[in-house]
């Protein structure tokens, strides 16, 4: 694997499978009374969050702590950043403090790429969501969830049909999912009004539809994307009511899915808007599972980026982390 | 005043001749010239062009002297082969009064490296609401003839119409930064496949083209002169071609970077490539080169936009737009237009000196290389190769996209009214 995880496109099929397999191993840690491994003991992971995201930050924090890493949470609010410090100077500070990995969430697309490629830091950079660009660990946890539900937790997702619905234009989750799912062999369909699809989407490794009803009967999984209500003023669609009717997942539409199909959402949800409450709470919904799986996947990513080259759970604690994390 | 004898220079890329410069004028042209009092410049293999004229330079003074001053910008211009530049109005304070344009003009005079012709703002404070005192700027010592809110588009059709009408009184020209503001809100790069993949908000070509289409129609309606700044799309070229076929008084410029670079470079998220208008596609680059070759686009203009490192060494979203251009323009034009066979050196002289001087209504620049003409000249070694080293640039800023690249051509000497501002590739 590369030293950084910036984009789902960074991952080959083998890389992705390795992460998912490692996450599968590490998921068992959550079932133990003491949910901790010594694997990253002595390593420092910094959660560098320029944008609010309690869910993702806690997930990364839990993942790092379960591997015994030291975790520093750095929030831009109330920090030197709010006093005008640049990303470069913040990075140089973290470098001086010996960060082995920096997990960055930023409102600007490309900020993690800049951090990783600028020479400001020597440690690994993990993209925890950048602007409207990518969110690769979200895609990994989504793939992990699909694999568990649809493929018995093994292999890739060859031939699985996945439908992503909603605001693709502004969704970093959609971009990462399309790239990763295509790498894993799935057939992806994006469904959105034309105003919420990026220019050039026809070059992406997926098909596109403006009609939600058409792909549903053949979908193994349907993932609803959050509608950002603040975008209503920009005339992307006429009314919430119309959007909900044309692109919302309600009980009628859920009934069109094959019996085995699952319903996903990266959260936070607008209940009654893109997803009906009954659907979100149904047994087909994997929304809570996705959160749980996020910790396992992020453990795997941190473990592998920080040098793990053996099966995660076979690393005997007596040998010390230094030999494992070369 | 000094006397120089340039030996064996290929005038406009033609046959080798000697050119005698005396008292600021071209005193003789021919073979085997001699002059005992002259300093001889051996120009064998080199090309002699009229001094270059830039219609579009940002010198940042007053207000952002940490990025550039008139003096440092004039040095950069001289090293790039320019003898005259037009300094854009988006300074702080904005150059929207006779006092401010005179200040910039006088600073240029004091530099002695290059004639600096201020561009006056079209509207007060570049706000697009009230016309600035265009006549006062035209009547000032700076004799402003080019007016532009560059950096911002004059998007109000009535204000644009009035500006076009008003400048007719003193043969002025309105230089439009064509950017429909609503279509480009928050825009970060060219709207296209790459912006979609990178998650950066797009600046669609139609935002430029729709304003140009409107403005050429307004120009025809009022019978004025319009100049379109930094044309960047194939669609814009088609509109200009149509407007010119109608005989309307419309001119346009293209930047060197839009002749070479594409939006694929933005994949690096390196803000050195962040510029307005944004880098476009390879198809646009091809169309721009062809349009410059066939005269649909009249001139090359640098859009030299210096920024200090803190405004560029950051994440893409917050980085300033713009890149340096003065010291590399001729090399980029050689690489994209001459070495590709699209334009000969006489064509370069036309697009980088004669036409821009005419558009800006400059008397002493862009003149033929002929006896009795002002000796504003540049000597170029087309066979030289140089690696762009940002630390060696004369500009106060370092935001060049060509760092580390090997570029063709080298400005050997620049003469301003018969006196060298650059000799042996260095400031005189």
DSSP assignment of B69-82 equals: -HHHHHHHHHHTTE
ipTM: 0.84
Residue A229: pLDDT above 80? no
Indicate whether A220 and A271 sit together in one domain. Answer: yes
The alpha-carbon gap from A205 to the nearest alpha carbon of chain B, in Å, equals 11
Q: For a pLDDT cut of 70, what percent of chain B falls above it? A: 100
Indicate whether B133 and B217 sit together in one domain. Answer: yes
CATH number of the domain at B421, please: 2.30.40.10
Whether A313 is in a domain gets the answer no
* Residue B425 CA, distance from chain mean position: 20
The total domain count for chain B is: 2
Q: CA triplet B402, B405, B409: central angle to 5 degrees?
A: 95
User: Confidence class of residue A82 from pLDDT cuts 50, 70 and 90?
Assistant: low
User: Confidence class of residue A78 from pLDDT cuts 50, 70 and 90?
Assistant: low
CATH number of the domain at B355, please: 3.20.20.140
Indicate whether B272 and B164 sit together in one domain. Answer: yes
> What is the predicted pLDDT for the residue at A228?
80
Q: A58 CB near a chain B CB, below 8 Å?
A: no
Indicate whether B238 and B379 sit together in one domain. Answer: no
Q: A228 CB near a chain B CB, below 8 Å?
A: no
Whether B283 is in a domain gets the answer yes
Whether A165 is in a domain gets the answer yes
Q: Which residues are within 8 A (CB) of A32 and not within 5 positions of it... i.e. 6 or more apart?
A: none
Distance from C-alpha of B233 to C-alpha of A198, rounded to nearest angstrom:
20
A114 marked as binding residue: no
Residues in A touching B199 (Cβ below 8 Å) = 109-110, 130-134, 172, 175
Indicate whether A130 and A15 sit together in one domain. Answer: yes
Indicate whether A76 and A142 sit together in one domain. Answer: no
Scored b (16 or more CB within 10 A) or e, B263-301 reads: bebbeebbbbbbbbbbbbbeebbebbbebbbeebbbbbb
Residue B97 belongs to domain spanning:
51-359
For the question of residue B149 being annotated catalytic, the response is: no
Indicate whether B287 and B396 sit together in one domain. Answer: no
Q: How many CB atoms lie within 10 A of CB B363?
A: 9
Q: B171 is written with which tokens?
A: 């043969």
The total domain count for chain A is: 2
Which among B192, B269, B318 has the least Cβ separation from residue A200?
B192
Whether B365 is in a domain gets the answer no
> What is the predicted pLDDT for the residue at A30?
81
The alpha-carbon gap from B317 to the nearest alpha carbon of chain A, in Å, equals 6
Distance from C-alpha of B16 to C-alpha of B365, rounded to nearest angstrom:
23
Q: Which of B333, B359, B385 is a domain's end point?
A: B359
Q: Which residues are within 8 A (CB) of A241 and not within 5 positions of it... i.e. 6 or more apart?
A: none
Which of the following is catalytic: B303, B311, B350, B381?
A: B303
B343 marked as binding residue: no
**Average pLDDT over all residues of chain B:** 97
Whether A37 is in a domain gets the answer yes
> What is the predicted pLDDT for the residue at A309?
65
User: Confidence class of residue A310 from pLDDT cuts 50, 70 and 90?
Assistant: low
DSSP string, B176-209: E----TGGGTT--EESSHHHHHHT--EE-HHHHH
Q: Chain B 118-177, CB below 8 Å of chain A: which residues?
A: none
Indicate whether B353 and B297 sit together in one domain. Answer: yes
Whether A30 is in a domain gets the answer yes
Indicate whether A16 and A147 sit together in one domain. Answer: no
What would the mean pLDDT of B102-106 be, rounded to a whole number? 98
What would the mean pLDDT of A77-83 be, rounded to a whole number? 68
What is the helix, strand, coil percentage profile of chain A, to 5? 45, 15, 40
Q: B39 is written with which tokens?
A: 């300093």
Whether A322 is in a domain gets the answer no
Which among B199, B270, B314 has the least Cβ separation from residue A87?
B314
Q: Which residue has the higher pLDDT, B398 or A320?
A: B398
| Bridge partner residues of B11 (DSSP) | B48
Asked if residues B338 and B344 have their Cβ atoms less than 8 Å apart, the reply is yes
Indicate whether A213 and A145 sit together in one domain. Answer: yes
Interface contact flag, A111 B310, Cβ < 8 Å: no
Q: B200 CB near a chain A CB, below 8 Å?
A: yes
Whether A84 is in a domain gets the answer yes
Indicate whether B59 and B75 sit together in one domain. Answer: yes
* Residue A277 CA, distance from chain mean position: 23
Indicate whether B33 and B103 sit together in one domain. Answer: no
Residue A60 belongs to domain spanning:
4-134+289-307
Distance from C-alpha of B56 to C-alpha of B177, rounded to nearest angstrom:
11
Indicate whether B193 and B147 sit together in one domain. Answer: yes
Indicate whether A57 and A188 sit together in one domain. Answer: no
Which among B191, B269, B310 has the least Cβ separation from residue A110?
B269
> What is the predicted pLDDT for the residue at A52?
83
What would the mean pLDDT of B342-359 be, rounded to a whole number? 98
Whether B366 is in a domain gets the answer no
Which among A88, A131, A198 has the least Cβ separation from residue B317?
A131
Q: A92 CB near a chain B CB, below 8 Å?
A: no
Q: Which of B336, B359, B382 is a domain's end point?
A: B359
Indicate whether B233 and B152 sit together in one domain. Answer: yes
Indicate whether A145 and A35 sit together in one domain. Answer: no
* Residue A49 CA, distance from chain mean position: 15
* Phi, psi for residue A43 in degrees, rounded to 5: -95, 150
> What is the predicted pLDDT for the residue at A235?
82
Indicate whether A27 and A88 sit together in one domain. Answer: yes
Tell me the whole-structure pTM to 2 decimals. 0.91
**Which tens digits make up the pLDDT trace of B152-170?**
999 999 999 999 999 999 9
CATH number of the domain at A256, please: 3.40.50.1370
Indicate whether A92 and A189 sit together in one domain. Answer: no
Residues in B touching A138 (Cβ below 8 Å) = none
Q: What is the phi-psi region of residue B360: left when phi exceeds 0, alpha when psi lies from -120 to 50, beta otherwise? A: alpha
Indicate whether A255 and A181 sit together in one domain. Answer: yes
**Average pLDDT over all residues of chain A:** 90
**Which tens digits make up the pLDDT trace of B318-342?**
999 999 999 999 999 999 999 999 9
Q: A218 CB near a chain B CB, below 8 Å?
A: no
Nearest to B231 by CA among B299, B331, B314: B299
| Contact pairs from chain A to chain B, CB under 8 Å | 75
Interface contact flag, B317 A172, Cβ < 8 Å: no
**How many Cα atoms within 13 Å fall on the side-chain side of residue A69?**
27
* Residue B347 CA, distance from chain mean position: 16
> What is the predicted pLDDT for the residue at A316?
40
| Bridge partner residues of B410 (DSSP) | B381
Dihedral sign, Cα of residue B355, residue B357, residue B361, residue B365: negative
Residue A314: pLDDT above 60? no
Whether A323 is in a domain gets the answer no
Asked if residues B258 and B230 have their Cβ atoms less than 8 Å apart, the reply is yes
Indicate whether B344 and B412 sit together in one domain. Answer: no
The 3-state secondary structure of B23-59, one letter per residue? CCEEEEEECCCCCCCCEEEECCCCEEEECEEEEEECC
Indicate whether A258 and A192 sit together in one domain. Answer: yes
User: Confidence class of residue A75 from pLDDT cuts 50, 70 and 90?
Assistant: confident
The alpha-carbon gap from A42 to the nearest alpha carbon of chain B, in Å, equals 30
Residue B205: pLDDT above 70? yes
Indicate whether B80 and B14 sit together in one domain. Answer: no
Indicate whether A79 and A196 sit together in one domain. Answer: no
Whether A100 is in a domain gets the answer yes
> What is the predicted pLDDT for the residue at A115?
93
Indicate whether B194 and B120 sit together in one domain. Answer: yes
DSSP string, A139-180: HHHHHHHHHHHHSTT-S--TT-EEEEES--TT-HHHHHHHHH
Q: For a pLDDT cut of 70, what percent of chain A falls above it? A: 91
User: Confidence class of residue A324 from pLDDT cuts 50, 70 and 90?
Assistant: very low
**Which tens digits make up the pLDDT trace of A160-205?**
999 999 999 999 999 999 999 999 999 999 999 999 999 999 999 9
């Amino acid at each position: 694997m590369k030293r950084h995880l910036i984009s789902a496109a960074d991952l080959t099929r083998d890389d992705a499978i390795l992460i998912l397999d490692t996450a599968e191993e590490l998921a068992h840690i959550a079932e133990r009374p003491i949910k901790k491994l010594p694997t990253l003991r002595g390593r420092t992971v910094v959660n560098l969050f320029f944008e609010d995201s309690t869910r993702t930050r806690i997930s990364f924090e839990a993942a790092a702590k379960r591997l015994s890493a030291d975790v520093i949470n750095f929030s831009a609010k109330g920090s030197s950043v709010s006093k005008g410090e640049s990303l470069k100077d913040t990075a140089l500070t973290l470098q001086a403090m010996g960060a082995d990995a920096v997990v960055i969430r930023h409102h600007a697309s490309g900020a993690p790429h800049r951090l990783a490629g600028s020479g400001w830091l020597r440690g690994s950079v993990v993209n925890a969501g950048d602007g409207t660009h990518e969110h690769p660990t979200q895609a990994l946890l989504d793939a992990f969830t699909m694999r568990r539900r649809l493929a018995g937790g093994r292999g890739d997702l060859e031939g699985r049909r996945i439908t992503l619905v909603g605001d693709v234009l502004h969704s970093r989750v959609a971009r990462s999912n399309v790239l990763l799912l295509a790498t894993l062999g799935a057939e992806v369909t994006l469904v959105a009004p034309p105003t919420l699809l990026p220019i050039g989407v026809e070059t992406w490794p997926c098909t596109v539809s403006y009609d939600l009803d058409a792909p549903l009967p053949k979908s193994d999984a349907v993932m609803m994307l959050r509608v950002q209500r603040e975008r209503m003023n920009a005339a992307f669609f006429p009314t919430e009511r119309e959007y909900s009717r044309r692109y919302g997942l309600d009980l009628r539409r859920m009934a069109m899915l094959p019996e085995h199909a699952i319903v996903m959402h990266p959260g936070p949800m607008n209940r009654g808007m893109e997803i009906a409450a009954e659907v979100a709470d149904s047994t087909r919904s994997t929304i809570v599972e996705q959160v749980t799986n996020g910790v396992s996947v992020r453990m795997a990513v941190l473990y592998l980026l920080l040098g793990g080259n053996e099966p995660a759970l076979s690393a005997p604690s007596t040998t010390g982390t230094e030999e494992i994390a070369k | 005043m000094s006397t120089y004898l340039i030996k064996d220079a290929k005038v406009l890329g033609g046959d080798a001749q000697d050119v005698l410069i005396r008292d600021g004028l071209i005193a003789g042209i021919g073979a085997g010239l001699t002059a005992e009092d002259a300093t001889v410049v051996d120009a064998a293999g080199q090309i002699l062009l009229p001094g270059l004229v830039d219609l579009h330079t940002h010198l940042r003074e007053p207000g952002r002297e940490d990025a550039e001053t008139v003096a440092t910008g004039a040095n950069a211009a001289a090293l790039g082969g320019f003898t005259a530049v037009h300094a854009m109005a988006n300074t702080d304070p904005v150059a929207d009064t006779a006092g401010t344009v005179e200040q910039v003009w006088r600073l240029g005079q004091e530099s002695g490296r290059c004639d600096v012709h201020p561009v006056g703002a079209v509207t007060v404070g570049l706000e697009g609401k009230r016309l600035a005192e265009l006549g006062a700027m035209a009547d000032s010592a700076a004799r402003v003839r080019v007016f532009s809110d560059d950096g911002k588009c004059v998007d109000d059709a009535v204000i644009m119409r009035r500006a076009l009408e008003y400048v007719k009184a003193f043969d002025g020209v309105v230089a439009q930064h064509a950017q429909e503001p609503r279509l480009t809100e928050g825009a970060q790069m060219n709207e296209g496949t790459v912006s979609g993949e990178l998650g950066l908000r797009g600046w669609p070509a139609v935002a430029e083209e729709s304003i140009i289409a409107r403005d050429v129609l307004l120009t025809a309606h009022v019978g004025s002169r319009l100049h379109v700044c930094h044309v960047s799309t194939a669609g814009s070229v088609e509109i200009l071609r149509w407007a010119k076929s109608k005989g309307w008084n419309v001119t346009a410029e293209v930047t060197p970077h839009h002749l070479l670079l594409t939006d694929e470079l933005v994949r690096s998220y390196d803000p050195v490539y962040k510029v307005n208008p944004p880098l476009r596609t390879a198809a646009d680059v091809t169309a721009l080169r062809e349009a410059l070759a066939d005269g649909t686009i009249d001139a090359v203009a640098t859009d030299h936009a210096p920024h200090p490192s803190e405004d560029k060494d950051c994440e893409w979203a917050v980085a300033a737009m713009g890149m340096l251009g003065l010291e590399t323009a001729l090399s980029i034009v050689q690489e994209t237009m001459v070495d590709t066979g699209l334009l000969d050196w006489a064509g370069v002289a036309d697009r980088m000196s004669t036409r821009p001087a005419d558009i800006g209504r400059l008397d002493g620049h862009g003149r033929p290389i002929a006896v009795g003409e002002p000796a504003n000249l540049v000597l170029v070694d087309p066979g030289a190769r140089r690696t762009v080293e940002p630390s060696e640039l004369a500009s106060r800023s370092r935001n060049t996209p060509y760092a580390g690249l090997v570029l063709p051509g080298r400005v050997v000497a620049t003469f301003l009214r018969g006196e060298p501002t650059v000799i042996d590739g260095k400031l005189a």
